[in-house]
Structure 1
Amino acid sequence: MKVLIGAGAAVLALLMVAALATVALLVSEEDAEATNPGKGGGLRNVPAEFRPWLLKADKACPEPELTPALLAAQLHQESKFSTQRSTVSDAGAQGPAQFMPATWATWGRDADGNGVASPWDVGDAVTAQGRMMCSLLRQAKSSGYGGDPRALALAGYNAGWGAVQRFRGVPPIWFARRPGQAEGETYHYVKVILASLPRFQGASTLEVSGTGSGPDALRRAAAWMGTPYSWGGGTPSGPSTGFCDGTNGYLNGQCSASSTAGFDCSSLVQNAYWPDLHLPRVAAAQYGATSDRPVARTDLQPGDLLFWSHGSSGAIYHVAIYAGDGNVVHAPRTGRNVELKSLTTAMPQRDYYGATRP
C-alpha cells in the first residue's frame, strides 16, 4: 500500500480531521442518519412497473436534488408501491403516491396516455409526484430556510408547504398535521425516507472499463454520483457533514455544509483512491503528492487527477477525476451534487492547471 502523505500534508490532514471532529460534536447521530444520502445513480429494489416512470420523472426535473431513488424511497413510505384500488389513507389520500383529491386536481395528468388521469395509475401517479416534488424543491432552495432542501420538500409533500413556512424548516416532532392525529408523522416521514435511500440506490449509470488503480478509483467515485457537495465534508469512509469557514459552505446566506452529509472535491478523490493509495485531504496537497507524474491533456486516462488553480500550485482550488471521453467525475460546489461533467465546462477553462496520475 502506497503512502503519499508528507509532513506538511499530514499537518493539513490533521487540522481538517480536528475541524470535522468539532463539527461532528454539533450534529446529532439522529440528524446524521437522516441526511445520509447513500450512494449511486441507479435504482434497485423497485417493482418493474415503477422503474421507467421513476426515471422519466427524474429526467423531467432540472433540480439535482431530485433522484429516482428519492422518489422510490418516498413511494415506499407512502404505499409500499401498492397499486390496489383499496390504497386509500384514513385522510382520503389515494394511490401509490397518496394524493389527496384536491392536490391531485393540481398535479395529476394522463401521463400514460390511457385517456384517464388517475392517482391509481402508476405512470400518472409517479410523474405527478415528480412534478410536485420538483416544485417543492425549488421552493425549498429559494426559501432561505436552513437544512437539506430534500427534507424541506418532503415535509411540504406530507404536511403542506404552509407547515414548513410556519416552522421555517421541517416541523418538529411534536407537530400534528390535524387535530387528533398522532404527533411526529411529518418529522418521522422525512427521517425514514432519507435514511432509506441506500435501499433504493443502485449502481452508477457510468460504465467504467479496464482494471487497475485508476479505473477502480473512478468506479468508486462514480458510485457516489448524486451525493450532495459539502464543504469540508467527506472522509475515506464516506459522506459526512462539513463546516463553513466564513467564505465557503454557504447556500442562500445559510451554512449548508454543517447540515449536509456529502463530499467536497478533494474528499471525493481521497475516498476514491482509499485504501490502496492514501492521498492527502486537500486539492493542493493532492497535486503536490502526485505532481512528479504529470500527464498531458492529450494522454489522459480514466482515474487521472485534474486540477484547476488561480495561477500557481499553491493556489489550486479544485480537483476532479478523469472519466474518459472528455468527461470528469467531481464534486463541484455547494448546492450541487457529485456529477459527470465535460472537462471543458466542469470549471473555467482558463483555470485548468494540469493533470497527474496517482
Structure 2
Amino acid sequence: MKKLVVGLTMVLAILTAVPLLAAFMVVVVASPAAGEELKAQDCQGGSTVATGPWRVPTAQKYTITSGFGPRMSPGGIGSTNHQGVDLAMLPQPGSVLAASAGKVKVAGPYGGLGNAVVLDNGSGITTVYGHMAQLDPAMKVGATVTLGQRLGLEGSTGNSTGNHLHFGVAINGTFTDPIPFMTQHGAPLNGQAVAPTPPPAKTPSVGPPTPPPWKSPLGGKSPTDPGVPVKDPGGEGGIGFPLPAPGEPRKDSLHNPPLSIPDAIKADYVRAANKYKIPWTLLAGIGMEETGHGRNNHSSSAGAQGLMQFMPATWATYGVDGDGDGKAIITNDADSAMSAANYLTASGVTKGEAGVKRAIFAYNHASWYVNDVLYYAAKYGGGEVLGDPTDCGTGVGDGNPQLPPLTNERVKKLLTWAEGHLGDGYVMGANGPNTWDCSSFSSAAYRQLGITMPRTAGAQQAWLAAGNGFRVSPGDAKPGDLIFYDSYLGPNVIGHVEMVFDPAKHQAIGAQSPKIGVTMSDYSYNMKTKHIFEIWRVGNISDKGKKTM
C-alpha cells in the first residue's frame, strides 16, 4: 500500500483552504470579536510548577515576614543583620523543600537557627534552612539531596518568635539577598504555591533525542510511526501531593485510638490501593472509622454493610470484584476494600487536597468524618496521592461552549512547535526542554501561545471544564484539541493527554511512552477501549488577555 506523506504543512493548508473548511477549519464565533483573546481563568488555589534547577523551598503559599539585611531584632532575640529571608507558610506550617540539589553540610542544631539544614549546592553556592520543628531522617551530613526533596517541617526552634522558615543563600561564603538571587534563577519568592518537584528518574528510559525519520500522518511500521497504534502510554508521572492533615472538628477519633490492622485486611487495603493508585492508609482510615477493620462488621441501622460499610444502592454502582473470583459481594472484605478505592477515585480523590476532602465527604456527608479519616490515615503513615495539588475543581461538565476557539494562526504555532519536537525523549516527571511526559508536553505546547495550564492531565481537563475550554464529540475534533483518557492511574482517573493533529485520520501528537517518546499515534483504539475518553477544545484565551471573562 502506498504510504501517505502528509505533514503539518498539509494539515495547516487544510486549515486555510476554502473548499475544505468544513473538515478542518477552526471556527471563530462572532461574539466575542473574532481573534480577541480572553483572559484565562486560574484554578482556585492554583500552584505553579518548578521546571528549572531551582525552586521555592516550600510547596505552599507563604508570606515573607522579614527581609534581608539590617532590621530590628524581633522580640529582642535573633540577628539584627538578617542573613536571609523569613517565609511563613499558609495556612499552617508545612514541609521545607530543597531549593536546589546539593550535599548536606549541616543537619541539626545550628546556633540561633535552631534545627537547620545547610546544603552545598555547588558552584560556590550554599543554602540555609533554619528554625525547623524537625528534620527528616535522611538529613545526615554528607547525604545527597535532590531538587525539591523534603528536608523537614517548618517550626520555631532556636531564636524565633513564631513558626517560619529562615532561608539563606551564600555565594563563596558571603550571604546575599535571596529575593533577587531566586528571581535570577527562575524561582521568584512571590508568595505563590509551587507544586512539589517529582523525584528524578532513576534511569532515563530514553537517551539524548535524535529525531527519527518520520512520515505523516499514516503509514509505515516503525515504533515511531503513527501506523502502529499506541495502545497505552507509560503514564505521565507529573507530581503528587501528601494526604491533607486532619482539621477540626473530629468526633470518633477523639476517643477511639487507631487499632492494629489484621494482616488479611491490610493486604486487602494494599491490593486495592495499588490498583487505584491511592495511599493504602486512606483506605485504612475509612476501615478504622467504619468498622475498626472488621471488628464491628455488621449492618448499620441505615443498612450499610461490609468492611467499608456500603449502602446497597451505592454498591450497585461502585461495587467491584476485589479477590478475582468474578463476583462483587458487599460482605466480602476484599471486594469491599476494592470498591472503596473505586468510589474514592470516582469521587475525585486525586484532584488536590480539596479533592481528597470532597471524596471522603462523599463517602459520609460530615466534616468530622473527613477529619477522623484523615487523622487515622496519618496515624497509619499517611502517604502521597498521585495527582495535582492544584484545585481546579471536579472536572464535571462541558466547560464554556460560548468561548471562541483558537484562531488558525495560533493553531499553526501550536502544532509547528509540537511537530518540531518529534523524536524527543520520554521520562516520567520530565519538564523538557527535550524530554517530557505527556502532560508536560501538552502544557509546554500551549505555553507557546501564552497559555499556562496546570501540570497534570487530570488537572488540565478540570481547568478546561472550569471555563477555559469546552468539550466536543470525537467526531467534531479539530487540530489542536486535547485528548484525555484513563491510563496508569486506574479506570476512574485521567492519566494521559495528547493533541489532535489530523482528526480525519484520528491522528494525535504527544509524549507517549518511554519506549517511543514524542510521536504521532492513532487514537481510534483508545477511543473505543478506554473507560474515559474525552476531547476538549481550548478557548481563544491567554494569561494576559484583552478582556476579563
TM over 0.5: no
Say which structure is richer in helix. 1
**Structure whose CA Rg is larger:** 2
Say which structure is richer in strand. 2
TM-score, structure 2 length as denominator? 0.26
TM-score, structure 1 length as denominator? 0.39
